[in-house]
Amino acid sequence: MSDFESVHPKANMKNRFAVLFSVLGLLLASSAVGQTLSGSPAASPVLPYTPSLDLSAMDRSADPCVDLYQYSCGGWKQHNPIPADQTSWSVYGKLYQDNLIFLRGILDEAAAAAERDAVTQKIGDFYAACMDEPAVEKRGLAAIQAELDAIAQLKSVPDLSPLVARLQLAFGRSLLFGNGSTQDPDDSEQQIADLDQGGLGLPDRDYYTKDDAKSKEIRERYLEHVQKVFELMGDSSSTTADHAATVMRMETALAKASWTRVERRNPYNLKHKMKMADLAGLAPNFNWPSYYRALQYPKFEILNVEAPEFFKQVNSELAAEPVENWKTYLRFHVVDSSSPYLSAKFVEENFAFYRQYLRGAKAMQPRWKRCVQYTDFNLGEALGQVYVRKVFSPALKASTLDMVRRIEDAMGQRIRQLDWMSPETKAQALTKLHSIRNKIGYPDQWRDYSPVKIARDDFDGDVQRALEFERRRDINKVGQPVDHGEWGMSPPTVNAYYNPQMNDINFPAGVLQPPLYDAKMDDAPNYGDTGGTIGHELTHGFDDQGSQFDAKGNLKNWWTKDDREKFDNRTQCVEDQYAQYIVVDDIHINSKLTLGEDVADLGGEILAYMAWKDASKDQHLQSIDGLTPEQRFFVGFAQWACANERPEELRMRAITDPHSPAQYRVNGVVVNMSEFPAAFSCKAGQPLVKPTEKVCKVW
Ligand SMILES: [Zn+2]
């Protein structure tokens, strides 16, 4: 899954047990792939400005009561074709690209400066090493040769465990399976060891199990890709087809034993606390003590195994597959996961399969873009320190925090007013609401990267050392109390998340910029857009999944049986509504997968509307540019989502993305808000006017 880890890098390395509920799915996806250094644009000293309500993005020929998304975003869609190096293009994606140009200016400066502090040295040299393409080209496979040699020397299957440990450290991905630390689901103040499913090359287990023609085609293409990687390593052409078949067979067995994404939405499915002796009973063919010694885990008594059936399958495969096959499997995964950082032929093959074939990109991203992203991914809180100094003022922090507080007040009001919930459950919900930590902009305490050696002439060595630092940091949390100041996204990230075990909402500085949050614009579009995002993250604490965690972040029921039933009936309404929508071709939304996001989208916008009305109650709001304040709220809301997407990308997201496609994240929400038809004088019977008895209301 080389292409996906860099999409949600932090979500992967942090909290394995809890899903981080971000506002975006894969919109900002990017990674892999090589190109020459020439033709790079000049660095921009400031972020370009786009207003949070952009009239040129609208299509006023469309009827908002028929399609608010087209009315608000039709112009944007027309004026913003997908750039060749992107798999989709959106308001968020465009801001992210502007950010990359801005960050590139920071990194060029950091790379060239004569006098540098420790942070500037790290990010400057990391970036410079990445940009030194001739050096990367010359090294070829040298940077991972030691690991390849170690695989070649593997003598027997029982010797596998320390080798898997070593490779997991150096390559930072869930090679064979995932490991790390997690908050104890029963005591969120404690960190315990954690194991999870993993080991696949395709983006999801469903790719291995589905029977339709397209899935079969993808598997054929994947086999070709695996074969090609072995060829690039220099394997004899008489063996590569067999090697690819071996990798496919082993991965398919792992995939079949993996939880589906929908099953993983039930946090109880992922909770299996056990002792080492139990783990040894589950998978006796793997030498766990030797594995944990090799990783230098702190001593622990209890660990959580998220997918016990998966580890039973690993155990069977250890018995069934000879050592030569394990070498083949590991060699492929080591090289495939490193490919974005290796010489051009590996970079190109990685692009051709993961980004071009699977997701529809037409061209590779220029090298500087990839290098900026790798710097953010590997040293995000170093780069972030310089970034926030330039873009995130105390005034901006104060004004966004004020908006957060207003939206939390709206949630409190909303809970108190609910006509379907008992006073007991309401009291619990309010306690949870008041316990939420608001994290805005950047962490109070920056991550200390001083142990990571960054060398200007050793790019993939730098990547390995940075990944190993992250892996060790994660592992060393075992047995330690939880650090509530920690962030799961870097400050430049254009995204936000809620973490149910931390019970916190996190808004990086990157997402609090125009056009998403625009200090120059009136409140209506700002509340519609960023206010809705804040409400969205807040509502995640109370969606079908987040609502199972209590105020402390423990997996503990705080609902009366009757209230829970009523809640489930209400979320069922949302699930049924979204199941009707088409993603691409004949593929419907998997609304059991998107339910949490759909509930959060609806709740978020309702809260934003309430908070905006409250914030502006003493103001005499007037129409601007022919739009009433209420219309500006809804157009501002819709314009966060303006996007163009390639069909390949949509097809992939239909399987992997818990978020619904853009147009439904707009039209699917307003159809459940009575304020919307009132704002546009819509008439009964129009597509975005639901009969009252069919309106879905959760929060
Ligand atoms: Zn979300």
Tens-place pLDDT, residues 377-425: 999 999 999 999 999 999 999 999 999 999 999 999 999 999 999 999 9
**Helical (H) or strand (E) element with 92:** helix 91-112
Q: What is the pLDDT of residue 348?
A: 98
Q: What pLDDT, in 10s, does the model give residues 328-375?
A: 999 999 999 999 999 999 999 999 999 999 999 999 999 999 999 999
How many A from CA of 525 to the centre of ligand 1? 20
Helix (H, G, I), strand (E, B) or coil at 187: strand
Report the C-alpha gap between 24 and 496 in whole angstroms. 8
How many A from CA of 606 to the centre of ligand 1? 15
pLDDT, averaged across the chain: 92
Find out whether 594 and 588 touch, Cβ atoms under 8 Å: no
How many A from CA of 581 to the centre of ligand 1? 19
Q: What pLDDT, in 10s, does the model give residues 42-61?
A: 444 578 888 989 999 999 99
How many A from CA of 284 to the centre of ligand 1? 39
How many A from CA of 599 to the centre of ligand 1? 9
Mean of the pLDDT values across residues 164-168?
Answer: 96
Task: Let me know if 620 is exposed, middle or buried by CB neighbors in 10 A (0-12, 13-18, 19+).
Answer: exposed
How many A from CA of 307 to the centre of ligand 1? 24
How many A from CA of 25 to the centre of ligand 1? 8
Q: What is the pLDDT of residue 46?
A: 74
How many A from CA of 331 to the centre of ligand 1? 36
pTM: predicted TM-score of the whole model, two decimal places:
0.92
Report the C-alpha gap between 172 and 176 in whole angstroms. 12
How many A from CA of 577 to the centre of ligand 1? 18
How many A from CA of 540 to the centre of ligand 1? 7
pLDDT-derived band of residue 143, with 50, 70 and 90 as boundaries? confident
How many A from CA of 377 to the centre of ligand 1? 21
Residue 591 has a CB neighbour count (10 Å cut-off) of 22
How many A from CA of 283 to the centre of ligand 1? 35
Q: What is the pLDDT of residue 22?
A: 53
Mean of the pLDDT values across residues 573-577?
Answer: 98
How many A from CA of 87 to the centre of ligand 1? 21
Amino acid at 11: A
pLDDT higher than threshold 70 for residue 562: yes
pLDDT higher than threshold 70 for residue 280: yes
Report the C-alpha gap between 60 and 72 in whole angstroms. 8
Tell me the torsion sign for CA atoms 502, 507, 510, 516: positive
How many A from CA of 348 to the centre of ligand 1? 33
The three-point CA angle 512-696-617 to 5° equals 50
Amino acid at 79: H
List the one residue out of 192, 276, 196 whose CA is nearest residue 478: 192
Report the C-alpha gap between 575 and 184 in whole angstroms. 30
How many A from CA of 507 to the centre of ligand 1? 12
Q: What is the pLDDT of residue 506?
A: 96
How many A from CA of 366 to the centre of ligand 1? 30
DSSP strands (E only) in 516-631 = 582-584, 587-588
Helix (H, G, I), strand (E, B) or coil at 154: coil
Report the C-alpha gap between 470 and 168 in whole angstroms. 11
How many A from CA of 349 to the centre of ligand 1? 33
Task: Let me know if 344 is exposed, middle or buried by CB neighbors in 10 A (0-12, 13-18, 19+).
Answer: middle
pLDDT higher than threshold 60 for residue 555: yes
CA-to-CA dists, residue 446 to 205, 314, 384, 385, angstroms? 36, 38, 9, 8
Pair of tokens at residue 372: 């900026």
How many A from CA of 21 to the centre of ligand 1? 5
Compute the residue count for the chain.
Answer: 699
How many A from CA of 673 to the centre of ligand 1? 19
What percentage of the chain carries pLDDT values higher than 90?
Answer: 90
Amino acid at 632: R
Find out whether 488 and 478 touch, Cβ atoms under 8 Å: no
Mean of the pLDDT values across residues 113-129?
Answer: 95
How many A from CA of 343 to the centre of ligand 1? 37
Report the C-alpha gap between 314 and 316 in whole angstroms. 6
Residue of higher predicted confidence among 3 and 328 = 328
List the one residue out of 417, 498, 473 whose CA is nearest residue 295: 473
What percentage of the chain carries pLDDT values higher than 70?
Answer: 93
How many A from CA of 24 to the centre of ligand 1? 7
Who's near 267: CB < 8 A, 6+ residues apart?
Answer: 17, 18, 185, 500, 545, 548, 549, 555
The three-point CA angle 36-147-8 to 5° equals 60
pLDDT higher than threshold 60 for residue 26: no
List the one residue out of 480, 587, 481, 629 whose CA is nearest residue 53: 629
How many A from CA of 498 to the centre of ligand 1? 7
Helix (H, G, I), strand (E, B) or coil at 217: helix
How many A from CA of 78 to the centre of ligand 1? 27
How many A from CA of 211 to the centre of ligand 1? 30
How many A from CA of 413 to the centre of ligand 1? 22
Who's near 61: CB < 8 A, 6+ residues apart?
Answer: 74
Helix (H, G, I), strand (E, B) or coil at 202: coil
Report the C-alpha gap between 616 and 629 in whole angstroms. 10
pLDDT higher than threshold 70 for residue 27: no
Q: What is the pLDDT of residue 24?
A: 53
How many A from CA of 496 to the centre of ligand 1? 8
Q: What is the pLDDT of residue 171?
A: 86
**Helical (H) or strand (E) element with 181:** strand 178-184
How many A from CA of 574 to the centre of ligand 1? 15
How many A from CA of 596 to the centre of ligand 1? 7
pLDDT-derived band of residue 7, with 50, 70 and 90 as boundaries? very low
How many A from CA of 536 to the centre of ligand 1? 6
Burial 57-90 (b: 16+ CB within 10 A, else e): bbbeebebbebbbbbbbbbbbeebebbebbbbbb
Q: What is the pLDDT of residue 41?
A: 43
